[in-house]
Chain A
Amino acid sequence: MSSPALAAPATASERKPSSVTAALAAYRVPLSILALCLLPWLLPSKALAVNVLVYGVVAVGYNLLFGYTGLLSFGHAAFFGAGAYITGIAIGQFGVPWLVAVFLGILGGGALAFIIGGLTTRTRGIYFSMVTLALAQLVYYVALQASSWTGGENGLRGFTVDKINLFGTTINFLDPINKYYVLMMFAALALWAVSRILNSPFGAAIEAIRENERRARTCGYDVEKTKLLAFTLSGLICALAGTMSALHLAFVPLDVLHYHTSGMIVMMTLLGGARSFFGPFVGALAFLLMEDVFSLWTSHWQIIVGSIFILFVLFLPRGLWGTFLEKAVR
């Protein structure tokens, strides 16, 4: 990144955050969780609410890398899919308890992110995007070929979780409301973890790298190592979303690994607002609502959603939530 050689005019004074914005930032985790608590009662269907939860978490994980570290990955479907497949296989083929399967999914997806991150974070710009895409495609083909494990094109079935034991009580997981609130606990944990990461010294380091990589390096940050850590953390969160998706659907379609999924994650994050804490959930909601509405009208709904996406990139670069925070809550 080049430096701002042009000094700004004296009138362009600094933008001080209002007290409302500051309060929203300070209580972003409880406020976000409150919003998620209310979500199923505000949406037309409980299934949509669970989808917002799942894709909101994957976009939050992606935002850590894209919005905060400034790396445009086109391969995040790999970690989402890995989390989903590992959880499904662990439950369906090894009879592992569901909670352990969730942890295995997160760890497996995180390990994959560490490997892919190790191979990609030394490249830059468009090369980084292309190599993440290529490696994610590789993961897709591996899953397609390893059909005895993954079910190949038919997807992975046979691991329905109908009852779960949590805090000493048995919960009927087939009930949509129960399912929503159980999965919401994972989403809440993810939001809390991401908030802590953003508030940490590491959070300042990734912002510095996004702002000016050369200066960050000169200041003494190991840029490659920091990017790899950000990539891995991002992958862990996305893998969690994958395990949530697997539990929700009791099915893992091969599509979770498709580059369409990677593209959708990018779109959701941008629609909601990269670099905003809750934006990814808003983006996931907006995307899924658009998909629902426009796919009723036309089978070419992707053209409409894609056009809207382009308009956002051009005219609302801060996304729905970012723009709302900027304009409405001053």
Chain B
Amino acid sequence: MTAPLLAVENVGRRFGGFVALEGVTAAFQPGKVTSIIGPNGAGKSTFFNVLSGVLTPSSGSVRFKGKDLAGVRQHEFVHLGIARSYQITNIFPELSAHENVRVAAQAGRARYNIWTNRKRFSELDDKADAALVAVGLAAKRTETAKFLAHGQQRALEIAIALTSDPQVLLLDEPTAGMGPEETRDMVALLEKLASERTILLVEHKMKMILGLSDRILVLHHGRLIADGSPRDIQTDSEVRRVYLGQNDGYA
């Protein structure tokens, strides 16, 4: 087994007296797709927030390529190689699709240059275009982001994350709010991305997860209750009990 790219040990997170995440230990290998599932409020997004520096863990540690991430500020995560998308679309609404991706790419190149014309950084245009092509938005290049369809906005956010060429990509419900058609497109995109990157995925759509994942983690009330291959998870009695009668689980 190769060394894990990302490892969490005994991670917990509290909000006041409320325990949103507790005692989660897991390691993630490069090149795999791992899905995190669980009922609403299980702590999935909280887990992602801890992995991406949005929240600091109340206990435990997060290691990336052996380095402890305690004290690393949120904006540095992407420079280390951890990029993410959010459950609620998080883009630059007034900028064009291309500007959205370009300004993201620029963060790795020039952040405090106040004097050079930004057009001179033409490699950023190429990088931005490549990311738009990768998510199938090349034709929407000059469209203002807020005027894109919902599914296209979700794809744009993934393009933004891709500009940093991340080693780990965290996707929090990329198909949230999508109809069947948009979902199909997104699944195709994820399948393509899965062949080249390490992906952690939060999703509710069970069929999609079973098809995409190498491994599935199940969170319930902030605790990890199962961790295994899609086959193991399907037959796990504890998981079945948690999901029993929950429509969203197997939708």
- Residues of chain A touching chain B, judged by Cβ–Cβ distance below 8 Å, are 2-5, 7-8, 10, 12-16, 196-197, 199-205, 207-208, 211-212, 214-223, 225-226, 229, 233
Query: Given contacts A211-B95, A229-B114, is CB(A14)–CB(B142) below 8 Å?
Result: yes
Query: Given contacts A208-B92, A211-B93, A212-B93, is CB(A4)–CB(B153) below 8 Å?
Result: yes
Does the CB pair A201–B153 fall under 8 Å? Answer: no
Does the CB pair B74–A196 fall under 8 Å? Answer: no
Q: Which of A8, A13, A204 is close to B103, meaning CB atoms less than 8 Å apart? A: A204
Does the CB pair A220–B114 fall under 8 Å? Answer: no
In whole angstroms, how far apart are the Cα atoms of A224 and B109 in the complex? 18
23 inter-chain pairs at a CB distance below 8 angstroms, sorted by A residue, are A3-B88, A3-B89, A5-B177, A14-B142, A15-B144, A16-B142, A196-B115, A199-B119, A200-B114, A201-B106, A201-B113, A201-B121, A205-B103, A205-B112, A208-B92, A211-B95, A218-B54, A218-B84, A218-B90, A219-B104, A223-B75, A225-B112, A226-B112
Does the CB pair A3–B93 fall under 8 Å? Answer: yes
In whole angstroms, how far apart are the Cα atoms of A328 and B120 in the complex? 32
| Distance between A240 CB and nearest chain B CB, rounded to angstroms | 16
In whole angstroms, how far apart are the Cα atoms of A200 and B197 in the complex? 32
In whole angstroms, how far apart are the Cα atoms of A8 and B89 in the complex? 14
Does the CB pair A220–B92 fall under 8 Å? Answer: no
Does the CB pair B91–A3 fall under 8 Å? Answer: yes
Does the CB pair A197–B114 fall under 8 Å? Answer: yes
Q: Which residues of chain A are near B94, meaning CB under 8 Å? A: 211
Mask for B184-200, Cβ within 8 A of A = 1, else 0? 00000000000000000
In whole angstroms, how far apart are the Cα atoms of A215 and B121 in the complex? 22
Does the CB pair B111–A221 fall under 8 Å? Answer: yes
A3-B86, A207-B95 known, 10 other contacts, Cβ within 8 Å: A3-B153, A4-B89, A5-B177, A218-B83, A219-B164, A220-B75, A220-B77, A220-B104, A229-B112, A233-B114
In whole angstroms, how far apart are the Cα atoms of A199 and B95 in the complex? 15
Does the CB pair B118–A203 fall under 8 Å? Answer: yes
* B78 sits at the interface (CB 8 A): yes
Q: Which residues of chain B are near A203, meaning CB under 8 Å? A: 114, 118
Query: Given contacts A14-B143, A200-B114, is CB(A218)–CB(B95) below 8 Å?
Result: no
| Distance between B162 CB and nearest chain A CB, rounded to angstroms | 12
Query: Given contacts A196-B115, A200-B114, A221-B107, is CB(A215)–CB(B143) below 8 Å?
Result: no
Does the CB pair B88–A5 fall under 8 Å? Answer: yes
In whole angstroms, how far apart are the Cα atoms of A297 and B56 in the complex? 61
In whole angstroms, how far apart are the Cα atoms of A226 and B146 in the complex? 25
In whole angstroms, how far apart are the Cα atoms of A204 and B108 in the complex? 13
Does the CB pair B76–A220 fall under 8 Å? Answer: yes
Q: Would you list which residues of chain B between 209 and 235 have a CB under 8 Å from chain A?
A: none
Does the CB pair B111–A222 fall under 8 Å? Answer: yes
Interface hub of B54, B76, B147 (most chain A Cβ within 10 A) = B147
In whole angstroms, how far apart are the Cα atoms of A68 and B146 in the complex? 19
Q: Which of A7, A13, A223, A229 is close to B149, meaning CB atoms less than 8 Å apart? A: A7
Q: Which residues of chain B are near A220, meaning CB under 8 Å? A: 75-79, 104, 107-108, 111, 164
| Distance between A176 CB and nearest chain B CB, rounded to angstroms | 34
In whole angstroms, how far apart are the Cα atoms of A120 and B143 in the complex? 36
Does the CB pair A3–B74 fall under 8 Å? Answer: no
| Distance between A122 CB and nearest chain B CB, rounded to angstroms | 12
Does the CB pair B111–A215 fall under 8 Å? Answer: no
| Distance between B120 CB and nearest chain A CB, rounded to angstroms | 9
| Distance between A199 CB and nearest chain B CB, rounded to angstroms | 5
In whole angstroms, how far apart are the Cα atoms of A288 and B84 in the complex? 49
* B116 sits at the interface (CB 8 A): yes
* B63 sits at the interface (CB 8 A): no
| Distance between A8 CB and nearest chain B CB, rounded to angstroms | 5
* B167 sits at the interface (CB 8 A): no
| Distance between A234 CB and nearest chain B CB, rounded to angstroms | 12
Does the CB pair A14–B144 fall under 8 Å? Answer: yes
In whole angstroms, how far apart are the Cα atoms of A134 and B129 in the complex? 46
| Distance between B236 CB and nearest chain A CB, rounded to angstroms | 33
Does the CB pair A7–B153 fall under 8 Å? Answer: yes
Q: Which residues of chain B are near A233, meaning CB under 8 Å? A: 114
Q: Which residues of chain A are near B114, meaning CB under 8 Å? A: 196-197, 200, 202-203, 229, 233
Q: Which residues of chain B are near A4, meaning CB under 8 Å? A: 89, 91, 93, 145-146, 153
Query: Given contacts A201-B116, A220-B78, is CB(A226)–CB(B93) below 8 Å?
Result: no
Does the CB pair B117–A8 fall under 8 Å? Answer: no
* B52 sits at the interface (CB 8 A): yes
Query: Given contacts A14-B144, A200-B117, A203-B118, is CB(A215)–CB(B73) below 8 Å?
Result: no
